[in-house]
Structures are given as structure tokens and as C-alpha cells.
Amino acid sequence: MNHFWKNEYVLTAGYYSVAVLCMIVFLAIFELVTKYRNWEEIKKGNLSVAMATGGKIFGVANIFRHTILQHDSLITMVGWGVFGFVLLLAGYFIFEFLTPGFRIDDEIEKDNRAVGFLSLVISVGLSYIIGAGI
């Protein structure tokens, strides 16, 4: 069985499967902490929500990219991925805190594309910083 887990195809499929499962869970958590419903707003054509959600997806994927590169087991990868996600989520709350003049969620829900784009860039940028630390 040990030989099975050393096969590159099996490892790649395992990393992929676990990362996709984690992404689904993490997106569900993001859905809980935002005021708006991501997929309903995207279905209505809200580009700001699509950009913010896309940034979150890219951010989580980038964090897992770094965890896969740096760690040699699925368990370690998931542990660091969860830690990276928590940091990314903290960045979301810090972004909200640093804009006391308006609420980020309200602006994104109203399709304020400037705020949606900024949210995307913050998620992507933070994922690079988090990934470098992992």
C-alpha cells in the first residue's frame, strides 16, 4: 500500500480532491460571513460579487498551491491550508474594519465594481503573502 501512495498520479489526484473539498467548505464559510448570497447575486449578474468571489477562489487555490509545494503529506497540506484560509478570512475582516466610511458587503451587494475589484485584489494579494509564509 505504501507504493500506491508514492505514485505521482495518485498523489496528484489526492491533492486535487482534498483541495477541491476544502475549497467548497471554505466558500461555504465565506457565504456565511457575507451579508449577500454569492451565487444568487452572481446569477443576477452582479459583477462585483463575481469579482469578490473569484478573488476568494483564487486566494484559496493559491494558498493550497503553496501548501502542496511545501509539504509532503495530505494531512500537513490540509493543516496549513486551513491555517492559510483562517488568515485570508482575517484579512477579509481587516478590510471591512479599515473602511469605516462604508460597509464592504453593502457596496458589493449594490454592485459597486470598484469595491468588488479591490476585494478581489486584496484576496489574491494576501494569498501570495500567506503562501510565502507557508
Confidence band (pLDDT; 50, 70, 90) for 133? very high
Closest Cα partner for 128 from 66, 70, 53, 51? 66
Average pLDDT on 103-115 reads 95
At 29 the pLDDT is: 95
Q: pLDDT tens-digit profile of 37-83?
A: 999 999 999 999 999 999 999 999 999 999 999 987 889 999 999 99
Residue 3 clears pLDDT 90, i.e. is over it: no
For residue 23, the enclosing domain spans: 2-133
Q: How many independent structural domains does the chain possess?
A: 1
Give CA–CA dist 41/6, Å, rounded.
43
pLDDT at position 5:
65
Answer yes or no: is pLDDT of 11 > 90. no
pLDDT for the residue 121: 97
Q: What is the mean pLDDT of the chain?
A: 92
